[in-house]
Structure 1
Amino acid sequence: MEIERKFLIRQLPEHLEQYPCLQIEQGYLCTNPVVRIRKQDDSYFLTYKSGGLMTREEYNLALTAEGYVHLRKKTDGLLITKKRYCIPLDPYTIELDIFEGDLAPLILAEVEFPSEEEANAFTPPEWFAKDVTYSGKYHNSYMSRYGYQPEDNR
C-alpha cells in the first residue's frame, strides 16, 4: 500500500547538492490501471498502481536492463525524466522531483506515510506550497498523457 501526499513547492531547499539524488526515467504501458516501467540509476522496475489519490495499492517487480529496453519501446505518451532528491524530515523522507524535458519546470515534493492518520496529521515545511494530493493532474501517469499545465501554486 502506498500512502503519500504531494505538494508543489515555493523554493528549493538550501544546499540541495548535499542530499542523495537519483536519476529517473519512466514510461507507462497503461494508465488505467497504472502499469509503469522505471529506470532508477542502474535499477529497473515494473510497477502496478491501483486507482486512488492519497492511498493506493502498489506492487513493484524487478526488471533486467534488457527487459526495460524492450518494454520502453511499448510505452505510450511522454517518457518522463526527473532528478529525485531524498531529503530527510524525521521520521519521513521528502522525495523532491525536479522534472526535465517536456515536464520542466515542474517540481513536486512527495512524502510517504505508514498510515492515513499520519498523512492527514502531517504539517509540511515552509518551503512547500500548494497541496496537490487530491489532484490527479499531478500523477505522473496523467502527465505522461496530457503534459503539465501550470497553475497557481500558492
Structure 2
Amino acid sequence: MEIEKKYLIKDLPRDIDSYPHVSIEQAYLCTDPTLRVRRYGNRYILTYKKRINDPSKLNVSEEIESELSYEAYEHLFSKADGTPIRKTRYKIPYGEHVIELDIFHGAYEGLYLAEVEFGSVSEGESFVPPAWFGDDVSDDVRYTNAYLTMHSST
C-alpha cells in the first residue's frame, strides 16, 4: 500500500544540487489501472498501480513492482502510449520524511512536483509542508504522471 501527498512547487530550494538525484524516464502501457515502465538510473522497473478510493485527500494506491532487463524495458517502452516523461528526482530529507522532488524536462519543462510518502493516512493528514511547497494537488488527476503522458501539448 502506498500513501502519499503531492504538491506543486512554487520555489525550488537554493541548495537543490546538494541533494542526491537520479534521472528518470517513464512511459505508460495503460493508465487505468496504471501499468508503467520506468528507467530509474540503471534500474528498469515495471509497475502496476491502482488507486484505492479513500475519503482522505491523500493518494492511496495498491502498487506492485517488478525488475526488468534492459531489453524488456526497451521493448515495452516502444509499445507505450502518449509522450514519455523525463525528469530528475531529488531526495530531500524533511524531518522524519523524504521529499521526492521531480523537475520535469522536455514536453513538461517548468513543471515541479513533490511527493511525500506516509506510513498511515493519519500521518499524511497531519503533515505540514515546508514553505517552498505550493498547492496540494494530491486529489487532482491532472498532476498524475499517467494523465500528463496522455495530455502533453507536444
- TM-score scaled by length of structure 2: 0.93
Q: Distance in 2 between matches of 1:60 and 1:147?
A: 26
Q: Distance in 1 between matches of 2:126 and 2:119?
A: 12
> Shift of the alpha carbon at 1:51?
2.5
> Shift of the alpha carbon at 1:102?
0.4
Query: Structure 1 segments of 4 or more deviating over 6 A?
Result: none
Equivalence for 1:120:
125
For residues 84-127 of structure 1, give each alpha carbon's deviation from its aligned partner in whole angstroms, at most 9, with x where no partner exists: 00000121100000000001110001100011100010000000
2:12 is paired with a residue whose SS is coil
Equivalence for 1:12:
12
Q: Distance in 1 between matches of 2:134 and 2:84?
A: 26
The percent identity for this pair of structures is 47
1:47 is paired with a residue whose SS is strand
Aligned residue-pair number: 148
Is residue 51 of structure 2 the alignment partner of residue 46 of structure 1?
no
Equivalence for 1:80:
85
Q: Note if contact 2:51-2:59 (Cα within 8 Å) is conserved in structure 1.
A: no
> Shift of the alpha carbon at 1:13?
0.6
For residues 33-67 of structure 1, give each alpha carbon's deviation from its aligned partner in whole angstroms, at most 9, with x where no partner exists: 10000000100000000024610101110001111
Q: Distance in 2 between matches of 1:4 and 1:59?
A: 16
Residue pairs, 1:1-154, within 5 angstroms: 1-52=1-52, 54-147=59-152
Paired amino acid for 2:18: Q
Paired amino acid for 1:31: T
Paired amino acid for 2:77: R
Structure 2: runs of 5 or more not aligned: 53-57
Paired amino acid for 2:63: E
* Alignment RMSD: 1.0
Structure 1: runs of 5 or more not aligned: 149-154
Paired amino acid for 1:40: Y
Q: Which has the larger displacement, 50-59 or 96-105?
A: 50-59
Paired amino acid for 1:50: K
- TM-score scaled by length of structure 1: 0.93
